[in-house]
Each structure stands twice: as C-alpha cells, then as structure tokens.
C-alpha cells in the first residue's frame, strides 16, 4: 500500500533516471491530457510531497509539473529503454522516455498536468512532509492540537496535518503509542511523542523494500496491521478489525489490540 515512504522511494528512483534528461517520448493516457506532449523538454527534477509525486519539467520558471497520486494500487516503474514491462500495457497511464530509460506509471489513481507556477495551489494545502525538507514537528503538533475532539486514528490520516502517514502507519503508530484509534486527540497522553514517532518510523523505512515497525526483519514485521487472524504480536490478544473514516466514502480498515490499546473514558 503506497504511503509516504513508498512515494519517497519512487521519487528518488525517478529523479535518478529523469533529472536533467530530455524527453524523447511523452504519452499521457488519461482523456483530459491525452494530447499533451512534452517531447523535447528537459526534466528538472522529481520530488515527493507526502503521498503526492511531482515530475517537474521545462523552463524552471514557466515549466510544467506532472502531478500524480498512487492511491491504493498505483506505481511507477523505471526500465532501460526497450525493456520488457512487468505490468500489462492497458494499465499504463503515463509513458516517458529518454535516450536511456523508459518510465511507466501504472494504475495511477490520479494524474494531471499543472503549471509550475501553480505548484502551491496543487499541494500547498498539505501539512509538513514527514520526509521532506519542509518538515516542522512543531507545526504538525499545532495542527493536531487544533482538532481536539477528532479521533486520533482519523487525524493521523489527514494529510493537511502532516503528510505521509497512510493506513498501515496509522494502525501501527496508535499501537506503539498505546492509544485506541478512536481516542480524541485531546486525550492522547503525549502528542509530541506521537509526532516524533511518526517521523522516526517513516525515516527508518524509507530505504526499505518492506515496511517494518517491530524492528524485526523476519516474518512478523508489523504489530497489529492485518493480524486479525494471528493476534497481537505483543500479547497474543485477538486483533480487532473494523472500518473507520470521516464518511462512508473514506472508510479504511482499522486494526488495533483491545488489550494493549483500551478505549478509556
């Protein structure tokens, strides 16, 4: 499941292949931008912003941004030019080529082109990026405290508060903090520790191919996420599984240990 660390790695790999390179092909396979062609333009860089990915190209001042979001199943692949794709062609939403590489975006949940000057309008609403140069723990803490009655399990997923936490981290962070995901923000014992833990967890995982929150590199790499059939890794209690979201369209799987994370009050 793509979260901030996954998108950070994708941006790193795409930047290594694209930055400073001239595009020899640009094929955007979404109706609104199907006729957009950046062939001949030079890619400036590729960066992540929370769970958003920005490919910046053209003139640094008046150029363009290819803005994508992986959603649940999206991913970007980097191939040597002429290499065989590991996904079927009908799933491709963007194909970019340089003299040496082919970059393909598959199953992208969101893809659009925006002017470079409009970057802040596109992603400026996001909170401090846990893996970005704009990370500001105090600002993230301030934004969390501004929603005292909101369940912490919903606040952690709100990218306007801090950008990069997805559903896996939401569940694991609540477990590590020993709080029930439905605990109101104002009742979380140490919010600053939770913010710090969010930063440290994503930093620790950003260079790993598999996410680890337990510190163990073996089979048991997560404490509660998707462990409803195996039990809490710490105490063995049956892990609770339910749905939580701000509305029916935003419901996400929620996992927690009733013993290690009791709902108080």
Which residue among the candidates 12, 112, 150, 252 is catalytic per the annotation?
252
Q: Give the orientation angle of helix 4-18 with respect to helix 191-205, to 10 degrees.
A: 40
- What's the burial of 94, exposed, middle or buried (CB within 10 Å: 0-12/13-18/19+)? buried
CA distances from 254 to 51, 124, 153, 181, 251 (A): 19, 28, 8, 8, 9
3 is catalytic: yes
CA atoms of 118 and 139, how far apart (whole Å): 23
Active site residue 181: no
- CB atoms near residue 208 (< 10 Å): 12
Is position 252 annotated as part of the catalytic site?
Answer: yes
Catalytic, 182? Answer: no
142: DSSP letter: H
CB 111 within 8 A of CB 68: yes
E strands present in 7-135: 25-28, 43-49, 52-57, 64-69, 75-80, 92-97, 101-106, 110-115
Q: Are strands 43-49 and 52-57 parallel, antiparallel or unpaired?
A: antiparallel
Active-site option among 9, 51, 93, 227:
51
* Active-site annotation, residues: 2-3, 51, 252
């Amino acid at each position: 499941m793509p979260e901030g660390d996954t998108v950070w790695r994708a941006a790193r790999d795409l930047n290594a292949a694209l930055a400073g390179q001239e595009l020899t092909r640009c094929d955007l396979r979404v109706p609104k931008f199907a006729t957009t062609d950046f062939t001949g333009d030079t890619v400036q860089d590729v960066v992540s912003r929370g769970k958003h990915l920005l490919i910046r190209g053209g003139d640094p001042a008046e150029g363009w941004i290819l803005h994508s979001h992986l959603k649940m199943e999206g991913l970007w692949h980097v191939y040597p030019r002429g290499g065989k794709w590991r996904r079927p062609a009908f799933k491709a939403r963007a194909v970019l080529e340089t003299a040496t590489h082919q970059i393909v975006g598959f199953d992208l949940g969101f893809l659009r082109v925006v002017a470079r000057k409009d970057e802040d309008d596109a992603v400026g609403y996001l909170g401090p990026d846990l893996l970005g140069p704009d990370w500001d723990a105090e600002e993230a803490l301030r934004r969390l405290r501004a929603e005292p009655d909101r369940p912490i399990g919903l606040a952690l997923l709100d990218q306007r508060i801090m950008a990069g936490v997805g559903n896996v981290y939401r569940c694991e962070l609540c477990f590590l903090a020993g709080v029930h995901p439905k605990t109101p923000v104002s009742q979380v014992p140490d919010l600053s520790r939770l913010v710090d833990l969010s930063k440290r967890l994503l930093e620790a995982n950003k260079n790993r191919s598999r996410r680890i929150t337990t510190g163990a590199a073996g089979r048991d790499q997560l404490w509660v996420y998707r462990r409803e059939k195996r039990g809490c890794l710490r105490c063995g209690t049956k892990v609770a599984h339910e749905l939580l979201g701000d509305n029916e369209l935003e419901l996400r799987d929620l996992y927690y240990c009733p013993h290690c994370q009791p709902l108080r009050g």
